[in-house]
Amino acid sequence: MQKYGLIGYPLGHSFSRDYFNRKFESENIEAEYVNFPVPDIKEFKTVLKDNPELCGLNVTLPYKTQVMQYLDEIDDDARQIGAVNVVKFTRGHFGKLKLKGYNTDVIGFKKSIEPLLAPHHEKALVLGTGGASKAVLQGLKQLGIESVFVSRRPAAGILTYADLTPAVLDGYRVIVNTTPVGMFPRINECPDIPYELLTPSHLLYDLLYNPDETLFMKKGKEKGAVVKNGLEMLLLQAFAGWEIWNK
């Protein structure tokens, strides 16, 4: 039986195990998907040693960057983003294991936002500067959209929330939230942007999917903006990971 899994810590929030095991059952695939909650990335090698039947891994927080040091090869997108969320296992002569890292977050994001884009969506604000934001920035770049990070802390080339003037909001019609602000159970919170400046020309995309409609999205809808959560991105990145493991 094939084995796949997820490495990260903690893993109580992850949807991957249930998603893949349902997929295996419904498609009569002889495989199982298990969680590997490891409190230190140094245990990565132990996971490999104790599970020789592993065919692929997903990687989640906080190890998307740290896992890269253990890989033999890294895909171009993942290298540019600086984060890996899929590891493909291949075995060569005498069973020698080779590990290659990919980033399917960029694939899922790009495919899910593309149908919503209009000609006036030329520039984007990316709220947050964590690992997910790098994948979003790469996806927007591939779609030909100029983007800038927005952070609470000032830094070169990064806007702060205080910098979001009417002129900025008029020029940047796509706003992507990559922060955890507004995630269950803190559903009454939202990123500190000037929602009164939003218009029907704006597109608000939230990587969060719990709740289905975040306060960020609700405030955007009230101004007529197009809004979308991150559930489809989550599913699409999982599809892409399965294709990578089986190509």
Which DSSP letter does residue 197 get? G
Annotated catalytic residue 110: no
| Nearest-angstrom CA–CA distance, 58 and 146 | 29
Please enumerate in sequence order all residues whose Cβ is within 8 A of that of 15, keeping only pairs 6 or more positions apart, or say none: 234
What residues does 57 pair with on adjacent strands?
A: 5, 87
SS3 assignment, position 161: helix
Catalytic residue among 64, 88, 219, 228: 64
Going from the C-alpha of 16 to that of each of 5, 25, 34, 155, the distances in angstroms are 8, 14, 9, 35
SS3 assignment, position 200: coil
Q: Give the Cα-Cα-Cα angle 157, 161, 164 (nearest 5 degrees).
A: 85
Which DSSP letter does residue 211 get? S
| Nearest-angstrom CA–CA distance, 18 and 212 | 19
Residues belonging to the active site: 64
